[in-house]
Homo-oligomer: A and B are copies of this chain.
Amino acid sequence: MARKRLTREESRDQTHQRLLEAAALVIAKKGFAAASVEDITAQAGYTRGAFYSNFKSKAELFIELLSQDHQCVRQDLHQILDAPQSLEAIEEQITQYYLRVYRDEKNFILWAEARVLALRDAKFRAKLNAYCLEKRDDIADVIERFYQMRGSKPPAPPKDLAFSTMALIDGMRFFNETIPKELPDEAAQNALGVIFTSTFFK
C-alpha cells in the first residue's frame, strides 16, 4: 500500500490530467456553459485554486480535452488504415472501428457541445476547425485510395465527400442518441450503409 511520493512535476501533471477527466464528466453532464469551474474542480477532488493554476480559461481546458480525444481517435484510425490491404479488409475494419467510436456516448456529447461553442467563439472555432480538417483529410485519403484501387473516378472531390461522410455519421449519431426508439442501431447502420454503398460503390 506504499503510495509513491510524487515529484512536483508528476504531481502537477496528475492534477492537470484529473481536472481534464473531471471536466469531461461534468461538461458531458451539465453542458459547457453550465459547468462551473467549481463543479469541475470539486468533481476532481480539488478546489478552484487548482484550476486557475493549471488553465487560463474553461475554453482552454475544453480544447485540450478535445485535443486528447482527437489524437486518440486519429491514432487508432491510422493504425488500421496505414497498412496497405484489400478493399474488403478496409471496409470490414472501418465498420468495426466505427462501431467502437459510435458507442462512446460521453465523447459524442463533448463534441456536440464543442460544435455549438464553435459557433460563437472564434478562437475556439479555429482550434476545432484544425482538428476537423485533419480528420477530413484522413478520411479523404481513404476515399482517394479507395477509388484508385477500384480504378474509378470519385464523383466529387474526395475532401468534399469526406465532409459528407462526417456530416452523415454525426447527424445519424445524434438521432440515434435522442430517438433510439425510432432509429435503432440496425436502422441507422442500414441507412448509412445504403448511402455509403450507393455513393462509393456504385
Contact = CB atoms under 8 A, between A and B. Distances in A.
A177 B120 contact: no
A115 interface: yes
B172 A115 contact: no
A125 B171 contact: no
Contacts of A202: 198, 202
Interface stretch (A8-16, A91-99, A128-136): A128-136
A177 B182 CA distance: 28
B116 A113 contact: yes
Interface in A25-67: 29-34
A71 interface: no
A109 interface: yes
Copies of this chain per assembly: 2
A102 to B, nearest CB: 13
A157 B191 CA distance: 8
A55 to B, nearest CB: 19
Contact of A31 (B33, B133, B136, B177): B33
Nearest to A170: B171
Interface stretch (A73-81, A144-152, A159-167): A159-167
A183 B198 contact: no
A84 interface: no
A166 B192 CA distance: 12
Contacts of A178: 115, 118-119, 125, 128-129, 132
A116 B34 CA distance: 12
Give the 8 A-B CB pairs with smallest separation, nearest first: A167-B171, A33-B33, A160-B191, A171-B171, A156-B194, A198-B198, A164-B191, A155-B194
